[in-house]
Amino acid sequence: MSSRTPALRNQLIVLPELLAERVESGPHAARFFLSLAETLDLKLYKVMSMGTPPYSRPTLVAVIFYAMYSGYFEYESIVRFAGDSIGAQWILNGMKMPSYKTVERTINEILSELDSIFVQVLHLCDQQELIGGERGYIDGVKVKANASKHKAMSYEYLEKKTIRGKEDLKTLFAALKDVVDGWELAGEAFDDAAMEDAYDVHGGLRKIHKDALGERQERVFNRDFDETAGLSRPQSEKPWEESRMDEIKGGLRILENVSPEEQDEAIEILNNIAFVHKRVSHMEDAKEELEEKWKAANGNKKIPAERQINFTDPDSCIMTTKHHGVQQCYNNFAIVDDRANIILGCYTSNNPVDQVSLAPCVERTEQTYGSLDGFQLGADAGFFSANNISYTMGKGIDFYASYAEAEWQYAKDKFKYDESTDTYICPGGSALSAPKGSRGGKIRMYSNDEACGSCEFQNDCTKAKDGIRKINRDMEGDKLREEARKKPAARKVQKS
């Protein structure tokens, strides 16, 4: 390795250091990603039938992987990283990095083959015995979407705002008719003509505002700004804003029937009509999109009033995160093998509830990794439900999930069910039974009027007006949950 003296900037290096000395002398991420890119079998590697490829696709893919691994994801930043990074230069091996446009196209092609890449990487991990295939766990993390939570509305509020906006439009049209005199148009013809003029006014005023803002910025930040020229300044004795306003007024049909004294008021009303109409149209489109997506996923079930839609990113949803409070998020899930923490499958949802995402995450994992039959799968309390227990049993998965215990000493889980007598034993020691007529039902209600009437804990145990504590039991679901709670302890006994 050559030696250098940093203080001598004009020194001559007779034997320059090789990139290989830096990269190949020990483990290096650049070597890994080059090897991975050359191993993958991708459609984007196909040689074009005409012309000569200007670069090696596997080499470029390796550079992109290495750049993303280093935290660079935008096209231009990847190109800059490739010029600065020793590892990227070693991968390129003299190949010139293409433009960021080519990098953008390549990344889009990589994304189109992402499933194939994922499956091939899993196969490589399996060959290296990094996947045990016996035990794993599922968990989720809420990731903030590229959208503001302030751009979201609930379905109920969206309906109310849409109705209110249409009422505001009616009020504005009525106010406009009061200042228009003698126009032969009426009804829908009047509304259509007024709407056309309204959008002309709205667009013109926005252009004036934008130009005025641009001129103000030039005046502040440009030392060579010419005060006599300005931006788009017409040759007129009037201020340019007034001249532009006169141009807008000259193109409006409706002002021909408005007195000069009321024209400014008419302009303001027209601008408000266009503004409100744009908002109402935007909300109607969002409402229709929400209804279509809900129907596709849930059929004819009624949309919950609190169901959210975001105007910037309609697919995301408002969720409560662990460290950042309420945010506009996606809920991302993964099933991970326990040997080397290799992700076997993943699933992204806009539902903040973890329970409903276990089944689709398992199905997604079966598509990328294969069957989970015989697999031991662990989860936290967010996935503990009768539906998930039943689903995993049907898949042959040995499912273990922690469960939340209520702090309240008289919660349902503090009442112990005795299957032999079909009774619940309350914390006070009394037995609650179900009426004989309900014995065959799927849902049974258990109570003991006599015991509750004389119980010293009655006021703490129930808020019912009659003072009787009642326990509802789902004969299928509660049994599954109870067995799942006993399962870890039973397995521990078997091992010992």
Summarize pLDDT for 268-306 with one digit per residue, the tens: 999 999 999 999 999 999 889 888 888 888 888 899 898
Angle, helices 114-127/100-112, rounded to nearest 10 degrees:
70
Taking CB atoms within 8 Å and a gap of at least 24, the contacts of 42-51 are 42/110, 42/113, 42/116, 42/117, 43/109, 43/113, 43/116, 44/106, 44/109, 44/110, 44/113
CA dist 363 and 356 (Å) reads 13
**Euclidean distance between CA atoms 399 and 378, whole angstroms:** 6
The answer for residues whose C-beta is within 8 angstroms of residue 25's C-beta and 6 or more apart is none
Residue 54 has pLDDT above 70, yes or no: no
Q: What is the pLDDT of residue 1?
A: 46
Range 231-256 average pLDDT? 69
Instruction: Read off the pLDDT of each residue in 473-487 and give the average, rounded to a whole number.
Output: 90
Question: Does residue 329 or residue 47 have the better pLDDT?
Answer: 329
What distance, in Å, lies between the first and last C-alpha atoms of the chain? Answer: 59
- Reply yes or no on whether the pLDDT at 66 is more than 70: yes
Where do runs of H (alpha helix) occur along 323-457? 358-368, 386-395, 449-453
Q: What is the mean pLDDT of residues 151-156?
A: 88
- Give the span between the Cα atoms of 115 and 368, in whole angstroms: 8
Give me the mean pLDDT over the 458-482 stretch: 92
Return phi, psi of residue 166, to 5°.
-65, -35
Q: Provide the sign of the torsion angle of the four alpha carbons 58, 63, 64, 69, taken in this order.
A: positive
Residue 495 pLDDT more than 70? Answer: no
Run of H or E including 220: helix 187-221
Stretch 57-77: mean pLDDT, rounded?
Answer: 95
The C-alpha atoms of residue 138 and residue 178 are separated, in whole angstroms, by 65
At residue 211 the predicted structure's pLDDT band, cuts being 50, 70 and 90, is: confident
Neighbours of 271 (CB within 10 A): 19
Query: Does residue 423 register a pLDDT over 50?
Result: yes
Average pLDDT estimate for 146-172: 91
With beta carbons less than 8 A apart as the criterion, state whether 257 and 179 touch. Answer: no
pLDDT tier, 492 (very low <50, low <70, confident <90, very high otherwise):
low
Q: pLDDT, tens digit, for every residue of 378-409? A: 999 999 999 999 999 999 999 999 988 888 99
The pTM of this model reads 0.74
- Residue 131 confidence (pLDDT): 96
DSSP 110-121: HHHTHHHHHHHH
pLDDT exceeds 50 at position 474: yes
Stretch among 174-188, 263-277, 297-311 having the lowest mean pLDDT: 174-188
Backbone angles phi and psi of 344, in degrees to 5:
-95, -25
What is the rounded CA–CA span in Å between residue 268 and residue 13? Answer: 73
Domain residue extents for the chain: 19-112, 154-290, 412-495
What confidence tier does 223 reach under pLDDT thresholds 50, 70, 90? low
Contact 379, 137 (CB under 8 A): yes
What CA–CA distances, in Å, run from 233 to 201, 242, 373, 377, 430? 19, 11, 75, 71, 90
State mean pLDDT over 113-128: 95
For 397, the 3-state DSSP assignment is coil
| pLDDT exceeds cutoff 60 at 2 | no
Residue tagged 């290989």 (tokens) = 20
Question: What is the bridge-based pairing of β-strands 325-337 and 135-144?
Answer: antiparallel
Mean pLDDT of the chain: 87
